[in-house]
A and B are shown apart, each in its own frame.
Chain A
Amino acid sequence: GQQLNQSPQSMFIQEGEDVSMNCTSSSIFNTWLWYKQDPGEGPVLLIALYKAGELTSNGRLTAQFGITRKDSFLNISASIPSDVGIYFCAGRRGSRLTFGEGTQLTVNP
């Protein structure tokens, strides 16, 4: 079935550092989404991207919809301890949403 390759699987960084993670797919998506999930909670939408090439920011977060429509990246600048969590990319075609495997982010104070 449809798969999204998300990397890295985990990251351990110091507070204040910038973070980058990305997702790639063998298929085209119409929308790319980035979510954050805290333990025992549902995912919370961070950024939604609707057009190829689109670059969108939300505070310290920046994400881009790849021009080929097969990839996307998420950057977090000046990380803080509360950025800890699992970040998921998701690609949407029609009503179907496919999730990446997630990136576990740990931020050391």
Chain B
Amino acid sequence: GAVVSQHPSWVICKSGTSVKIECRSLDFQATTMFWYRQFPKQSLMLMATSNEGSKATYEQGVEKDKFLINHASLTLSTLTVTSAHPEDSSFYICSARKNLATNEKLFFGSGTQLSVL
């Protein structure tokens, strides 16, 4: 099946620093990628939809200036958490949409655990 690579798997950073998370579709082109955040024992909450070559669409309540998304190529989207604070600590997951002949499927990355000290 299709593979989506997410890097890094975990990161610990100091409060106030910025962290970049990469999401790559390894064997298909993805014009659309999605970024989710998941707090412990909770569901995945969509943060934003990343569109190749255009601005990302953010969900209500998600600060676009804090969570910068860049989808510069058909196989790479990045999420940068700027000026991270402890409340940004969470599990971040990306997914990439693969268009098939009869339908489309989403493939998820393995997630990034962010801990902000």
Contact = CB atoms under 8 A, between A and B. Distances in A.
A55 B108 CA distance: 24
Contacts of B109: 42
A34 interface: no
Given A42-B6, A42-B109, A96 B46 contact: yes
Nearest to A35: B108
Given A40-B111, A43-B108, A95-B49, A101 B42 contact: yes
Nearest to A3: B43
B97 A42 contact: no
B44 interface: yes
A35 B107 CA distance: 11
B49 A99 contact: no
Interface in A70-99: 88, 95-99
B54 interface: no
Nearest to A92: B106
Contacts of B107: 45
Interface residues of A, number: 22
Given A1-B60, A95-B97, A97-B34, A42 B111 contact: yes
A16 to B, nearest CB: 27
B111 A88 contact: no
Given A40-B113, A43-B108, A100 B49 contact: no
Q: Which of A41, A48, A50, A101 has the most CB of B within 10 A?
A: A41
Contacts of B106: 33, 45, 97
A30 to B, nearest CB: 10
B32 interface: yes
14 contacts: A35-B108, A42-B6, A42-B108, A42-B109, A88-B44, A95-B97, A97-B34, A97-B95, A98-B46, A99-B44, A99-B45, A101-B42, A102-B42, A104-B41
Interface of A: 1, 31, 33, 35, 40-45, 48, 50, 88, 95-102, 104
Given A33-B106, A44-B108, A97-B95, 8 more contacts: A42-B4, A42-B109, A42-B111, A43-B44, A45-B108, A48-B103, A95-B49, A101-B43
